[in-house]
Structure 1
């Protein structure tokens, strides 16, 4: 099927993508990124440090004994999330979040969620969190720093907020307290940003008893975040921006590790990228640390164009917020694999920062064989599959 083929074509994973070696471990723990350290950057963009999942400098490192099977389990869940998204499948978690809901999520002194929402079991999931690169984001006035997963496949930025009406997963550092921020404000149900949630999360917004907009970000692995759509001052590096729209999560469960939440970088007006675009421009780049002894960066805004090779972005009616390209072939040691062009051209390839393993259509797998020459310490590829 077309959908199944597309989901096998998820490329450029964070764990496998090639990155330029950068600073050694003594410098990698710095929260500041100097443009002079990276030839791809210039001084006018916004630059944040990216931490490898297993780096000792990461504010939320993975357990040293985490088996690779856990990484694959997380990756399968990510693919399931993309499948549900591309199929426009409603959330598998039956919540009270619909237009006719009388959701009892209220900002009064004793907020409470609708009983049907609070009693739904989570299902599969783990609190370990694997394969995600993290950075820090400041929020509120005065600004407090939080560990956030960087996600090109998500639009809405959200983080856990006290009082955690239903549930908050264990995170590194304290949970954000809206009452401690003088610049915090909830967003009303009549605000245009509330209507924008449908395209950002693929779930319709709901309304609290006090007319506060309620979001639901759900994922194919039964992970989710539910809370208030809010606005506050966001601080990234040395810069800050007021009136940043994000989700203030009151019920957050699933594959988020010890992060406070997600930074959404997808092509949607509620994403961090698009909210910063009027001042920084519609571009971002990242350099991925391939080992735990180095750090990378996330840069939003200006860059050095001469340092890059380019390919056009492809459009897809399946989801206009994701990043697609057209794959034309695969080469190994300069030699192209014998795969028909139609195997690549029928559907575009998703570039997704949250996917660990690069995935290809079944038709591509069946067109070549692989040999492992252990004695010579090399791997070979040949045309012709098993069928």
Structure 2
């Protein structure tokens, strides 16, 4: 790693997640793995330190198209590449079955179904890690078509009256197989009879993941299934650096509170229940504020939402007009000359030789939740000595996403019972030669 890339190393003081020794299943904490970390078994070893963020630009665009397709039941043809439903998320280690079979999956708030590849495969995509075999689990059970479990999953039936699932994941990718229940182990907590998809017919992008841990809002997601066992709460703290630790926790460990914590309501409409919709009222840079158009969705209580907070999307997508205003203002306030992205993707870039300072950029959510974006998440190094804004404009899809780069260095807590998301800035220790300091 170059000395310039070392400038962005952030050491997280994870005070909220101090309860790493879990005594009950009400509180469990496990480490999350950065997608570009050497510890990620699905990381391409031939990639350099910048390839992943380059890929995440494409993945973010593709993810927005995928969400657009799900919400509107269409198939956007303007994207020439296949739609990638995953790729930007942090990886979570967990176990399935009895005895526990350890595997990795993307922890995704933008997905509701938890699924993994299963043996024997009629059509599995290539995978680096071993594949789960139900025959080796004493607690694995298929579900019948007339069961409540099958109706919750909203699935189809086989000729043997076994409940089946089928998910379309992109232009040509999909996963299908049995709807089953088994024991799910997360850290020190074990949860029995958890519903998941045991996929034996999968067409997917090889070596991206073995599956997904669905953390979405619908009734089939893990957080809804575990319900009172985790008190309807989960939280995570993400580091922007591959060599720093990140965490996700459930239950009593997931209480994010304190004088600096800010909360905003979750708006959920009946036809869009997978996603966590928030109301982003405006974005400010320094003392300039740029309103964001409202009313993408609303729930029965009148809460409105216009942006999805999504742990499976890397970059933040905002309306094109807001992006243009933000970019223009940043160019005025940053005392350096912008440079072109060598590959023409990112809209605002600077050279580190300028030692530029970053104005404070704040996302203003409803309920007075003002979230100041962390400088290491706001600008990402995309080439040697080139840092680019990790916010991009919408391309006429009307899908706005608050991605993980805008969430880094925060404790982000989800309370499904209270229907709110809480942000609390983590304690940071910035490296002395860190060049992207915040102004003010």
Matched residue, 1:196: 152
- Equivalence map 1:244-283=2 (5 Å): 244-255=194-205, 257-283=207-233
* 1:306 corresponds to which of 257, 275, 280: 257
TM-score by structure 2 length?
0.64
Matched residue, 1:361: 319
Shift of 1:89: 4.2
**CA distance in 2 between partners of 1:311 and 1:21 (Å):** 27
**CA distance in 2 between partners of 1:287 and 1:133 (Å):** 11
Shift of 1:354: 0.9
Matched residue, 1:135: 92
8 Å Cα contact 1:229-1:247 kept in structure 2: yes
Shift of 1:318: 4.8
TM-score by structure 1 length?
0.72
SS at match of 2:282: coil
- Equivalence map 1:1-387=2 (5 Å): 21-22=11-12, 37-40=14-17, 42=19, 45-63=27-45, 64-65=47-48, 66=51, 68-89=53-74, 124=82, 130-165=87-122, 167-198=123-154, 205-255=155-205, 257-302=207-252, 303-307=254-258, 308-316=261-269, 318-332=271-285, 334-337=286-289, 339=290, 341=291, 343-347=292-296, 348-368=306-326, 369=328, 370-371=330-331, 373-374=336-337, 375=354, 377-378=356-357
Shift of 1:41: 5.4
Pick closer, same or farther for the CA change 1:286–1:322 going to 2, 3 Å. Answer: same
**CA distance in 2 between partners of 1:265 and 1:19 (Å):** 28
Shift of 1:91: 12
SS at match of 1:225: strand
Could you list the runs of 5+ residues in structure 1 that have no partner in the other structure?
1-17, 24-36, 93-122, 199-204, 382-387
**CA distance in 2 between partners of 1:366 and 1:47 (Å):** 40
Pick closer, same or farther for the CA change 1:273–1:250 going to 2, 3 Å. Answer: same
8 Å Cα contact 2:65-2:76 kept in structure 1: no
**CA distance in 2 between partners of 1:276 and 1:256 (Å):** 30
Please give the per-residue CA displacement for 1:137-157, whole angstroms capped at 9, x wherever unaligned: 111111110011101011110
Pick closer, same or farther for the CA change 1:336–1:257 going to 2, 3 Å. Answer: farther
Pick closer, same or farther for the CA change 1:361–1:45 going to 2, 3 Å. Answer: same
8 Å Cα contact 1:326-1:344 kept in structure 2: no
Please give the per-residue CA displacement for 1:27-65, whole angstroms capped at 9, x wherever unaligned: xxxxxxxxxx53255455111110111112233334333
Pick closer, same or farther for the CA change 1:317–1:209 going to 2, 3 Å. Answer: closer
Pick closer, same or farther for the CA change 1:19–1:197 going to 2, 3 Å. Answer: farther
Could you list the runs of 5+ residues in structure 2 that have no partner in the other structure?
1-7, 297-305, 338-353, 361-440
SS at match of 1:240: strand
Matched residue, 1:114: none
